[in-house]
Amino acid sequence: MFCTNCGMAIEPDKKFCPNCGANQMDEPPPMPPSYVSAVAASPAMAAPASGSPAPARAGKPALWASAVALVLAIVGGVGYRGWNNKVASDGVIHKMANDEASRKVADAEAAEIKAAQVLLEKHIAAEEAQAQVNAQGTTRKR
């Protein structure tokens, strides 16, 4: 009997291979050595020789998938950058508009204050003139 894992000749009553330790009880029935040798020598089962080219179609799907992923990443990055710049420029525009509105409000308030000061000065001047007239009138009456 031969080990179904390593192919070493073992005694028929052994449960485990003395070479590799594989369980021989759960394995399919042993194959004759001539079949094992024939399968190992077949070209389909042979390992590819080093330096031999890989099949041409083996890498193309992975190459295309990588190219598509790269293009999507670039497009996504450019789109995000454009969107981010637009959001930033919109924020600057809103800030400028708010600053302009604040400046207009401040200018209007300053104009109101100036007008109120002029009106107050006129009122004070009229009061002082009236007080002088009243003061002269009281001195003449005496």
pLDDT tens, residue by residue, 48-97: 555 555 555 557 888 888 999 999 999 888 888 878 777 777 777 888 88
On whether the CB atoms of residues 5 and 17 are closer than 8 A, the answer is yes
* Phi, psi angle pair for 49, to nearest 5°: -70, 145
Q: How far apart are CA 93 and CA 81, in angstroms?
A: 18
Token duo for residue 6: 């390593």
**Confidence class for position 125, pLDDT limits 50, 70, 90:** very high
pLDDT of 70: 93
pLDDT given at position 41 = 57
pLDDT in tens, 17-53: 888 888 877 645 555 555 555 555 555 555 555 555 5
Q: Length of the chain in residues, anyone?
A: 142
> Comparing C-alpha atoms, which of 3, 71, 78, 72 is closest to residue 33?
3
Within 10 angstroms of residue 33's Cβ, the number of other Cβ atoms is: 11
Out of 41-45, 58-62, 112-116, 130-134, which region has the weakest mean confidence (pLDDT)? 41-45
- pLDDT value of residue 81: 83
Does this model's pTM top 0.75? My answer is no
Convert 121-139 to b/e letters by CB count within 10 Å (16 or more is b): eeeeeeeeeeeeeeeeeee
